[in-house]
Amino acid sequence: MTYDLLSTIIYNLFSPYMLGLALIGVVLGLVFGALPGVSSTMALAVMLPFTYGMETAPAMVLMLAVFFSSVYAGSVSAILLNIPGTPGAMITLLDGNAMAREGKAAEAMAYALIASIFGGIIGWIFLVILAPTIATYALQFGSPEYAAVVLFGLALVAYASSGDMLRGLAAGAMGLIIGLVGRDQVTDVPRFTFGTADLQGGIDIIPLAIGLFGIAEVLSLLIRSKTDTPAVAVSRARTWPKFSELLGELPTVLRSSTIGTFVGAIPAAGSAVAVALAYACEKRLSKSPEKFGTGIPRGVVAPEAANNACVGGALIPMLTLGIPGDSITAVLIGVLLLHGLRPGPGLFENQPDLVVTIYGALFVAILLTALVAGLIGIPVYRKILAIPQRLLTAAVLVLCLLGAYAVRNAVVDVWVAIFFGAVGFAFIRLNIPVLPLAFGAVLGPLLEENLRRTLIIHRDVSVFFERPISLVLVCLSLAILLLPVCIMGLSYMRKRRIHR
Amino acid sequence: MSQTLNKYHDIQTDRGEVINDIVSGCLCLALALGLAGVHFSQAGRLHDDFARDPGPALLPLILLAALGLAGGGLTLRGWFGLKKTTASSNQSSLMSLWPAALAVALMCAFLPLRHILGAALALCLIGAALAVLAGRSDNVPWFFTAVFGGVIGLILYALFHFGLSVPL
């Protein structure tokens, strides 16, 4: 990358238009993330329609700003209300709310913000260092390797998703079938179109994401009984911790951020797993583990650093391999596809300026989150948390309808969003993980393209076992899929032995 | 590893999860069979010569089989789980889902209403109805909730129609 190109990108990123978009994204992300029940994915799904008319770079700037700030803001309701704003904040509430109940709400929020910013920066550094290396390596992948990578990603998603693996597999298969709807790219044969012209072009990923992550979550909120929010004592005595206290938390930030980045990079492992691991790690290393959960800063720092480091981690497989790290990056892939771009190693080769813009946009989002969240205090957050749910519900559902329509100004997309909203709601009720469905829909065409190309060129499935990378990935996928079956078998045999 | 085992064990001891298994398994089976029917009705036009000429039928066949197997597995697991658990009285009924069903119905009404009344009025009405539905247990007069919901619908219409030039 030339110096001129780099300076142009930096100049563009810091232009009033881009900074304004990033600022809007950060503010909206802080509001959405702080609201209980509104996840980061829903925030991004709601913001999607506003990116349709934008160029790719501004669209990514806006979405990444919403992404990062909403992940941080999940800690606000965890600390003040004892309700996690996002799944990643579910561990933060243990010590964060305990601190708040002791009158240290402002201090807990300061620790959460500082840990989030440092976690985000460490995740970003890993992204900038690792992504080009992985992409260069991935450029050497042939279609067998690519098909094996997709298969491996799907196996991981089925295994790691909430619910259980059998349900994850069923959801993943449904998602892959959804990805095949429409005319076949090679032979132009229609598949699963039910004779309608509207489905010949396939099911667009954006209305599907709006339905699964926007409408479905609001429908779940509608039937949830309202809970009283516990009052929290707010002290203005000291907001920011001392420098020496912060320095004492530095090893925790480094450890937790590293865990967060690498767990975030594993497809579907997600921030919930990362925060649990980081918290458990700190508890194990602590000289006084019994203090965790009673309201100590380290109990806030560890999950928040891990949670925000996940953002950079999740972008690594998305940018380098085109495989979403979580549901949020699945929506981000939708944004890139909408602009005619497919993430993967080709993006680094053909659109290096966009990749650098994405790096820069995330960094700007981190800085702006620090600035905005640092400036606004608890009274502002209390006002945000007081937004009536009834108006929020109406706004989000109407926005979902309009957003789905605005993708292509097509009525069918509204029906697709409503249909997948109902499907997502049914999945939530039946405890079937939604994520494999979305992953399958995103990765289905990629899997088919590479599988068919492999079989056309090599004429035999044995090629997957002849090439080292695909062999390792296929074996790992099979191991992941068969592992629970083996465990169940062993457990059954042990039980029988004990019974005898 | 043990987490998976515990997860499986926990799932099997919960009556609600057993029923979830049966319902989702049956749905998967029905979906796999239904889609297989659609797929095979197109088979005359699909080149499904496996391996030598992998046509458009290859992956759908594999996926339909996977979906059917997962559905069968879930149904069987649920069926065996039924014998191990007893019915509990605190299971939520389908009737408790009416707010979600009504919200879906209201959203479905958007497109017909848009034809009859125009997008602005349709969104205003739907916004009002959704707000009243969401605030049904709040101690706020429903009229004010409806007005605020309607205003939200109109603001969003203006934002998309005039701000983003979406031809509603």
Write out pLDDT tens, residues B69-124: 989 988 998 888 887 776 665 556 777 888 899 999 999 999 899 989 888 999 99
Residue (of A247, A300, A280, A245) closest to A72 by Cα position = A300
Residue (of A271, A415, A413, A390) closest to A329 by Cα position = A271
A218 chain-B contacts, CB cut-off 8 A: 103
Which of the residues A154, A389, A390 would you substitute to probe the B interface, choosing the one with the greatest number of B C-beta atoms within 10 Å? A390
Out of B51, B110, B164, name the one closest to residue A401 (CB).
Answer: B110
Q: Is the CB of B84 inside 8 Å of chain A's CB atoms?
A: no
Compute the 3-state secondary structure of chain B and give helix, strand, coil in percent, each to the nearest 5.
Answer: 75, 0, 25
Report how far apart the first and last C-alpha atoms of chain B are (Å, whole number).
52
| CA distance to partner chain B, nearest, from residue A384 (Å) | 17
Out of B54, B127, B128, name the one closest to residue A455 (CB).
Answer: B54
Q: What is the pLDDT along chain A (500 residues), one digit of tens a residue?
A: 567 667 777 777 778 888 899 999 998 888 888 876 677 777 888 888 888 788 888 898 899 999 889 888 888 878 887 776 676 777 888 888 888 878 788 888 889 889 999 999 999 999 988 888 888 877 777 888 888 888 888 887 777 665 577 888 889 899 999 988 888 877 778 888 887 888 888 888 888 888 888 888 888 888 875 554 554 555 555 567 788 888 888 899 999 999 888 888 877 666 777 888 888 888 888 888 888 888 888 889 999 999 899 888 888 888 888 888 777 888 888 888 888 888 888 888 888 888 888 888 889 999 998 888 877 766 777 777 777 878 888 888 898 888 888 878 888 889 999 999 999 999 988 888 888 888 888 888 888 888 888 888 887 788 888 888 889 888 988 888 887 778 777 877 887 777 77
Find the farthest-apart pair of alpha carbons in chain B and give their distance in angstroms, rounded: 69
Residue B133: both structure tokens together: 């539905």
Q: With bands split at pLDDT 50, 70 and 90, how would you rate the model's confidence at B43? A: low
> Is the pLDDT score of B40 beyond 90?
no
Task: Give contacts of A 211-240 with B, CB under 8 A.
Answer: 215, 218-223, 226
Q: Do A169 and B123 touch (CB under 8 A)?
A: no
Nearest CA in chain B to A217: B100
SS (H, E, C) A104-131: CHHHHHHHHHHHHHHHHHHHHHHHHHHH
- A443 in Cβ contact with A180 (< 8 Å): no
- Distant-in-sequence, close-in-space partners of A24: CB < 8 Å, separation ≥ 6: A62, A65
What are the φ and ψ backbone dihedral angles of A200, each rounded to 5 degrees?
-65, -30
Q: Do B134 and A389 touch (CB under 8 A)?
A: yes
Task: Give contacts of A 8-37 with B, CB under 8 A.
Answer: none
Q: Do B134 and A394 touch (CB under 8 A)?
A: yes
- B68 in Cβ contact with B9 (< 8 Å): no
Question: What residues make up the domain containing A462?
Answer: 3-499
Q: Is the CB of A192 inside 8 Å of chain B's CB atoms?
A: yes
Q: Do A173 and B96 touch (CB under 8 A)?
A: no
- The H or E element spanning position B32 is helix B15-41
pLDDT above 90 coverage of chain B, percent: 30
Q: What is the DSSP string of A82-96?
A: SS-SSGGGTTHHHHH
pLDDT score of B12: 47
A462 chain-B contacts, CB cut-off 8 A: none
Overall number of domains in chain A: 1
Judge residue A134's burial from the number of C-beta atoms within 10 Å of its C-beta, 0-12 exposed, 13-18 middle, 19 or more buried. middle
Task: Give contacts of B 148-167 with A, CB under 8 A.
Answer: 148-149, 152-153, 156-157, 160, 164-167
Which of the residues B59, B92, B124, B155 would you substitute to probe the A interface, choosing the one with the greatest number of A C-beta atoms within 10 Å? B59
| CA distance to partner chain A, nearest, from residue B48 (Å) | 11
Which of the residues B107, B143, B165 would you substitute to probe the A interface, choosing the one with the greatest number of A C-beta atoms within 10 Å? B107
Distance between CA B22 and CA B14 in Å, rounded? 13
Distance between CA B53 and CA A459 in Å, rounded? 8
Q: Is the CB of B81 inside 8 Å of chain A's CB atoms?
A: no
Residue B164: both structure tokens together: 């983003």
pLDDT score of B141: 87
A202 chain-B contacts, CB cut-off 8 A: none
Residue A434: both structure tokens together: 């939604």
What are the φ and ψ backbone dihedral angles of A181, each rounded to 5 degrees?
-60, 135
What are the φ and ψ backbone dihedral angles of A20, each rounded to 5 degrees?
-60, -45
Name the residue with higher pLDDT: B147 or A281. B147
Domain-by-domain residue ranges, chain B?
2-84, 94-163
Residue (of A205, A212, A214) closest to A442 by Cα position = A205
User: What pTM does this model have?
Assistant: 0.78
Task: Give contacts of B 60-79 with A, CB under 8 A.
Answer: 60, 63-64, 66-67, 70-71, 73-74, 77
- A149 in Cβ contact with A473 (< 8 Å): yes
Q: Is the CB of B141 inside 8 Å of chain A's CB atoms?
A: no
Distance between CA A105 and CA B46 in Å, rounded? 64
With vertex at residue A332, the alpha carbon angle to CA A330 and CA A334, rounded to the nearest 5 degrees, is 75
- The H or E element spanning position A182 is strand A182-183
Q: Do B51 and A399 touch (CB under 8 A)?
A: no
